[in-house]
Every structure is written in C-alpha cells, then in structure tokens.
Amino acid sequence: MSADNIKFKIKKDRADIERRDDFLANRMTVILIAATALIITMLLLKRNNNHFEAQFILYVLPFLRPVLGLAFVAALIYRTTIKIKKTDDSMRFFGSDFMLGIASLLFGLSLIFTYVLVMGSVICLIGATLLYFINCFYQRDFFWFTVITAAGAMLFYIGSLEASSVISKNIVKTAARYLSIILPVIFIIAVVLLKRWGGYIIRGGKRVKIMKQEYNYYPFITSAAITLAGAVAARLFPGAVIYFMIILLIAYLLVAIIYTVKMI
C-alpha cells in the first residue's frame, strides 16, 4: 500500500470515528432530555400526590404492563430479523439494539415498580442512562467492569436486607445472600483462567474469544473480591454493609478515573 493510500485510509477512518461520535452524542443528548423529563415528572407526581404510587399500581400499571410487554416482544422480533438479515443498523437513530434496550428497560420497570416504587425507578433510570453513556464512549472492558460491579453491589445490598413478612421478598433476599458469595468466587476463578488462556475458551473443538487480551483484568478481580469480602463480613457483622458499599464505590471511582485519563 502506497503512502497516499495509507494517508487516505487514516483520514477515512478518522472521519468515520468523528461521524460515529457525533451520532452517539446527539442520541445521548436526546436520551438525557427524555430521562430527565420522565424523572422530574415522576418526582413531581409523587410530591404533589401522596397516593400517586398506590393509584398508579391499582389503575394504570395493569394496563401499562401488557402494552410495554408487547413493545418488548416487537422490539425483540425486530432485532432478531435484523440479525438474521445481517443488516448493520447501528447508525440509525432508532436502531434495533437501541429500541430493544429501551423496550427492555421500560418493561422491566413495569414489572418491578410494585417493589421499587418511584425512587427505585428513578435510580434504575439514572443507572441505565449512565450505563448507556459508558457503553458509547468508554472502553469495552470498563463497560463490563461497570456491569459486574453494579450487579455485585445489588446482590450484596439485597442480601443484607432485613427479613420481610412477604415470602417472595425473603426468597429473593436469601438467594441474593448466597449468590453474593458464590458468584464472586466463580467469577474470580473464571477471570484468572481466561487471563491465562489469553481470553479464549474451547467450545465444540473451536477456540471462542470471551475477553480480549488487552483488557485490564485486575479491576474485575478487585470488584468481585470486595463484593465477596463484604458479603462474608455482612453475615458476621450486619453493620459492615455500609462500609463495604463505600469501599466498592471508591474502588469503582478510582478505576473510572484511570480509564477516563486513558481516553484523553
């Protein structure tokens, strides 16, 4: 390849990256506006009507759930169709992945609203928006680190809740308590083995890449180790929950700073 062709290819790749970044920034702006409007509306309704949550659960949610469920199924079918056709719609504003993500989030919130209510839904919306931002603009390993840390913190927190008179809540709490110990151990072993195997596993006689070799594996292990230590400590000293949650948050913020500096 000649020097002119190399320069042309570099310019083309740079133009593609800039176009993608502009597209994602515009989409992110719309998402932030929509999420902010929805959050403010929910908070205002809760503030101005003390019975809003109960009325919403009794009169609106039973009709809203089927609608959002159908929207989720439609988005899933659309995504499957696009995948079968091997069509790249990543640069469409209403691409299949984007639509499936929105439908999944709203349908999921409708299913758990009875348990999390307005404030829990607000936290879920903020978390989902932050996760999408990280997915768009940060390195892929930091995105998975965020997902794993959030999942570990959620299991850790749910497992530390006090017993409830509701049987289903007690089942979820007990499951989270044991999973917050078992899953980090399995995860740490899996990450160590994947690092040793170069990110590949053997499946059906073929090498399948699970994690890239250039991924930074240590944050994954650190997050899982803190979750494991916190889950064990919480079994012995319930008051230790808050301290390990703070430690997990500090560790996440430190890793976030490191990855942010790497992007600059």
Q: How confident is the model at residue 16 (pLDDT cuts 50, 70, 90)?
A: low
> What's the pLDDT score for residue 14?
67
- 119 plus 3 within the same structural domain: yes
Contact 137, 145 (CB under 8 A): no
- 211 plus 107 within the same structural domain: no
Does residue 146 surpass a pLDDT of 70?
yes
Structure tokens at 162: 């006090």
Q: What is the mean pLDDT of residues 27-35?
A: 90
Q: What is the mean pLDDT of residues 188-193?
A: 83
Q: How confident is the model at residue 180 (pLDDT cuts 50, 70, 90)?
A: confident
- 156 plus 262 within the same structural domain: yes
User: Per mean pLDDT, which range of 45-49, 179-183, 202-206 is the poorest?
Assistant: 202-206
Does residue 9 surpass a pLDDT of 60?
no
- 100 plus 130 within the same structural domain: yes
Of the three residues 69, 104, 137, the one that is the final residue of a domain is: 137
- 47 plus 131 within the same structural domain: yes
> What's the pLDDT score for residue 75?
92
What string of H, E and C letters represents the secondary structure of the chain?
CCHHHHHHHHHHHHHHHHHHHHHHHHHHHHHHHHHHHHHHHHHHHHHHCCCHHHHHHHHHHHHHHHHHHHHHHHHHHHHHHHHHHCCCCCCCCCCHHHHHHHHHHHHHHHHHHHHHHHHHHHHHHHHHHHHHHHHHHCCHHHHHHHHHHHHHHHHHHHHCCCCCCCHHHHHHHHHHHHHHHHHHHHHHHHHHHHHHCCCEEEECCEEEECCCCCCCCHHHHHHHHHHHHHHHHHHHCCCHHHHHHHHHHHHHHHHHHHHHHHHC
Domain count, the chain: 2
- 193 plus 214 within the same structural domain: yes
- 121 plus 108 within the same structural domain: yes
Of the three residues 137, 160, 191, the one that is the final residue of a domain is: 137
Does residue 198 surpass a pLDDT of 60?
yes
Does residue 130 surpass a pLDDT of 80?
yes
> What's the pLDDT score for residue 108?
92
Question: What does the pLDDT look like over 65-90, one tens digit per residue?
Answer: 999 999 999 999 999 998 888 887 77
Q: What is the mean pLDDT of residues 114-126?
A: 87
> What's the pLDDT score for residue 7?
43
Q: What is the mean pLDDT of residues 182-207?
A: 78
- 14 plus 26 within the same structural domain: yes
User: Hey, what amino acid is at 256?
Assistant: A
> What's the pLDDT score for residue 65?
93
| 213 vs 183: which has the higher pLDDT | 183
User: Per mean pLDDT, which range of 126-135, 148-157, 161-170 is the poorest?
Assistant: 161-170
Of the three residues 137, 172, 204, the one that is the final residue of a domain is: 137
Length, in residues, of the chain: 264
Domain carrying residue 213: 139-264
Of the CA atoms within 13 Å of residue 94, those in its CB half-sphere come to 3
- 24 plus 111 within the same structural domain: yes
Closest CA to 158 of 169, 144, 166, 145: 169
Q: How confident is the model at residue 13 (pLDDT cuts 50, 70, 90)?
A: low
Does residue 170 surpass a pLDDT of 60?
yes
Average pLDDT of the chain, as a whole number: 82
- 50 plus 156 within the same structural domain: no
- 46 plus 152 within the same structural domain: no
Taking the alpha carbons at both ends of the chain, their separation in whole angstroms is 30
> What's the pLDDT score for residue 227?
86
> What's the pLDDT score for residue 24?
82
